[in-house]
């Protein structure tokens, strides 16, 4: 098997408060191979974006990594000093943010921003850097790049600005790209184009991609595997076709049941009762137990670890010691 490019083990992120630390990520673990696209999905506040920020070293105080480790190509990066992490950011790890305007300087031409980034992370000359910038704009689908390279961000549409941000992320040919909601607020046709760019990035550049989104349609179309997050933990992780077709964790089942389908005519969509708990009020045991239709006593006391079920892992006691056949006896309504 190919050694993982990225390895996250028992990652824990805390935020210091007057009442003590709040745990925002608790025991997040996954591996990512070169050329693989991992989708990360879940409700707002589940910890999706926080996972990406922790990996790239952009946690704002009072947030901090309180436990676990992050390795890139075998090298531990979560304990590096800021200056060393700054060299990795952009060069080995690229980031695509949800709002392209937060990544682009409105006062600088697109070409100047691309060239500056290329010169910072490579040994190319000014002329070579501009040629590479033109090639990147062409690769991400900017029409007439020779003319658009000297434009300002406000002269581009939202979809075109997102393509420029992707080009910025690719400037130094990073081994890992973290895309945080890259298709949000874009129309469906532009979404499809951005998805095609990300898939080509993984296929042709052999870069690993973490795709953070709340849109399961985007995940199903783009990702190889998917991690379903809930309350700062991974509820289920596995191949995207398996998780979409036959989810194991009750939360993942609820998410999939809430997706509209063209098969049949349902009177109304399924919904998950209740809401995700606040960081200060995460219940003991399984964090999903107050909303779970299959809850039993053990769920309220013990936190389930990620249990292996075939090629997948699900943090659910239903899959431990034959509990699959027994929850109906202890389930509560």
Residue range 205-229: mean pLDDT, rounded? 92
Superfamily of domain 6-92+172-260+269-284: P-loop containing nucleotide triphosphate hydrolases (3.40.50.300)
Query: Contact, 3 vs 43, CB < 8 A?
Result: no
> What is the pLDDT, as a whole number, of residue 329?
39
Residue 287 pLDDT exceeds 50: yes
Q: Which helix (H) or strand (E) holds 311?
A: none
Sequence-ordered list of residues with C-beta below 8 angstroms from that of 16, at least 6 positions apart, any chain: 62, 64
Beta-bridge mates of residue 333: none
| Mean pLDDT for the stretch of residues 277-301 | 95
Q: Residue 177 pLDDT more than 80?
A: yes
Residue bearing tokens 């600005």:
161
Interval 150-158 mean pLDDT = 93
* Residue-averaged pLDDT of the chain: 89
For the chain, the domains span: 6-92+172-260+269-284
Terminal C-alpha separation, the chain: 45
- In terms of phi and psi (left: phi > 0; alpha: psi -120 to 50; beta: otherwise), the region of 287 is alpha
Give 265's pLDDT tier (boundaries 50, 70, 90).
Answer: low
How wide is the angle at C-alpha 34 spanned by C-alphas 166 and 247, nearest 5°?
A: 90
Instruction: Output DSSP code: residue 89.
Output: B
pLDDT tens digit sequence for 189-211: 888 888 888 888 888 888 999 99
Helix (H) or strand (E) holding 132: helix 126-139
pLDDT of residue 330: 41
Once rounded to an integer, what is the mean pLDDT over residues 122-144?
A: 93
The mean pLDDT of 115-139, rounded to a whole number, is 94
Check: CB of residue 68 under 8 Å from CB of residue 25: no
Which residues, including other chains, have CB under 8 Å from residue 155's CB and lie 6 or more apart? none
Q: Tell me how far apart the alpha carbons of residues 187 and 192 are, in angstroms, rounded to a whole number.
A: 9
């Amino acid at each position: 098997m190919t050694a993982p490019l990225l390895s996250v083990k028992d990652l824990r992120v805390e935020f210091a408060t007057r009442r003590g630390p709040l745990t925002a990520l608790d025991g997040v673990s996954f591996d990512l191979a070169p050329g693989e696209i991992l989708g990360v999905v879940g409700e707002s506040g589940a910890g999706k974006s926080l996972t990406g920020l922790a990996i790239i070293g952009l946690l704002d105080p009072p947030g901090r990594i309180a436990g676990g480790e992050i390795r890139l190509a075998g090298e531990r990066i979560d304990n590096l000093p800021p200056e060393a992490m700054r060299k990795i950011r952009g060069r080995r790890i690229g980031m695509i943010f949800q709002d392209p305007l937060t990544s682009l300087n409105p006062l600088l031409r697109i070409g100047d921003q691309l060239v500056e980034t290329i010169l910072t992370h490579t040994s190319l000359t000014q002329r070579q850097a501009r040629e590479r910038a033109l090639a990147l704009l062409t690769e991400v689908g900017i029409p007439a790049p020779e003319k658009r390279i000297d434009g300002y961000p406000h002269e581009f549409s939202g979809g075109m600005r997102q393509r420029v941000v992707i080009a910025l992320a690719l400037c130094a040919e990073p081994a890992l790209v973290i895309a945080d909601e890259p298709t949000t607020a874009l129309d469906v046709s532009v979404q499809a184009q951005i998805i095609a760019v990300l898939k080509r990035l993984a296929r042709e550049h052999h870069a690993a991609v973490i795709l953070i989104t709340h849109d399961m349609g985007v995940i199903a179309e783009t990702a190889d595997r998917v991690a379903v997050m809930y309350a700062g933990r991974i509820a289920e992780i596995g191949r995207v076709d398996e998780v979409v077709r036959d989810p194991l964790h009750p939360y993942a089942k609820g998410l999939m049941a809430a997706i509209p389908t063209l098969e049949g005519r349902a009177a109304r969509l399924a919904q998950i009762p209740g809401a995700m708990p606040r960081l200060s009020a995460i219940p003991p045991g399984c964090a999903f137990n107050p909303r779970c239709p299959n809850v039993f006593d053990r769920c309220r006391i013990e936190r389930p670890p990620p249990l292996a079920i075939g090629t997948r892992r699900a943090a659910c006691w239903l899959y431990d010691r034959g509990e699959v056949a027994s929850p109906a006896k202890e389930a509560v309504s």
